[in-house]
Every structure is written in structure tokens, then in C-alpha cells.
């Protein structure tokens, strides 16, 4: 869920990016009343991920730790259902952008700052102080982090390609 809040349109591969755009931009942000179900197994978001192995993940240890920390911080359990709007409200009420350093420790995207920025933007929007279009990233205090983000994405794609081709 936190990854969908922080989604900015760049992913591990073109297939992953297309899938996340369809889910996050095309469904969740387009209709906040979209129902979501939380799971500990691979889901629709994981479908094109190169690390997916059936209903699991080649990176289960790392991903499992992230998922457990997210669930604990948000007070959700596997199988729980709510709307996307309710899920976002839960995140904005329970978390602060600075919490993500602990909750998301080990995530390769954390250092890019996109998720912290997105959570802060969502909190401002919910407070009525700065609503931004759901399909557009909000400005980040005039700071352009695109070059750093693109360089980091290239590195992630290279590592994923290396892992995918490994025996």
C-alpha cells in the first residue's frame, strides 16, 4: 500500500511500470472508492515483477520483512478489506514521512525520497492545503530529483536484469 502511495511512474522494468500505472493511476487514484484486499502473497502488483516465483517472491525474506513492518505500522492484517480512500486515510493518520526510514528500511527506493514526499503531499491534500492531480507527482519544494531518480532506476534495472539472467 505504501508503495502505491509513493508511486511516481517508474519501476523495475517497462512491464512492471505499465502494470503499476494501470493499477495505481488507472484504478486507485482514478477511483478512491476502489476496494483493496491486503495479502502476504504475490498479488496483482507483483504480476510482472522479475522476482516473482508463483505466489511468492525470490526476495521473500526482504519483502516479507517490509510487508510485516508496513502491516504493523498501519494496523492491517492479511485478508483485510477496505477502500483505497480508507487505506490512504489510515496511512496519513498513522504515519509521518520520517517514519518511512524505519518502516521501509531495506527498500531500494527509499533513498530517492519519493515515498516520503508522496506521503507528505497526501497529508497536505487531505488537510485541504495543497491538493494535486491524482495522476501527477506533486512539486517537491522546487527541488528536481529527476536526475538522481533516473540514475537510481538505471541501477535497479541493471541489477534486476542481472538477477533475472542468473541461473
> What pLDDT, on the 0 to 100 scale, is given for residue 145?
43
**Cα–Cα distance for residue pair 70/77, rounded to 1 Å:** 10
Note whether 78 and 116 are within 8 A (CB). Answer: no
What is the pLDDT averaged over residues 40-59? 87
> What pLDDT, on the 0 to 100 scale, is given for residue 127?
84
Note whether 36 and 81 are within 8 A (CB). Answer: yes
> What pLDDT, on the 0 to 100 scale, is given for residue 93?
94
Note whether 120 and 19 are within 8 A (CB). Answer: no
107 DSSP assignment: -
Domain boundaries, the chain: 2-165
- Taking 90 as the threshold, does the pLDDT of residue 152 lie above it? no
> What pLDDT, on the 0 to 100 scale, is given for residue 62?
87
Cell of 166: 542468473
Find the helix packing angle between 114-126 and 84-94, rounded to 10°: 100
* Three-class secondary structure of residue 82 per DSSP: strand
**Predicted confidence band of residue 123 (pLDDT cuts 50, 70, 90):** very high
Q: Locate cell 516465483: which residue? A: 53
End-to-end CA distance of the chain: 31
Amino acid at each position: 500500500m505504501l508503495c502505491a502511495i509513493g508511486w511516481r511512474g517508474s519501476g523495475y522494468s517497462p512491464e512492471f511500470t505499465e502494470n503499476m500505472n494501470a493499477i495505481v493511476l488507472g484504478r486507485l487514484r482514478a477511483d478512491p472508492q476502489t476496494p483493496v484486499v491486503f495479502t502476504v502473497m504475490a498479488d496483482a502488483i507483483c504480476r510482472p515483477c522479475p522476482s516473482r516465483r508463483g505466489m511468492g517472491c525470490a526476495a521473500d525474506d526482504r519483502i516479507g520483512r517490509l510487508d510485516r513492518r508496513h502491516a504493523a505500522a498501519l494496523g492491517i492484517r492479511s485478508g483485510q478489506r477496505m477502500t483505497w480512500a480508507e487505506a490512504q486515510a489510515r496511512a496519513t493518520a498513522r504515519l509521518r514521512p520520517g517514519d518511512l526510514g524505519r518502516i521501509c528500511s531495506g527498500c531500494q527506493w527509499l533513498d530517492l525520497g519519493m515515498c516520503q514526499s508522496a506521503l507528505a503531499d497526501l497529508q497536505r491534500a487531505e488537510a485541504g492545503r495543497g491538493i494535486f492531480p491524482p495522476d501527477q507527482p506533486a512539486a517537491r519544494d522546487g527541488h528536481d530529483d529527476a536526475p538522481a531518480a533516473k540514475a537510481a532506476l538505471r541501477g535497479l534495472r541493471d541489477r534486476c536484469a542481472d538477477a533475472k539472467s542468473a541461473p
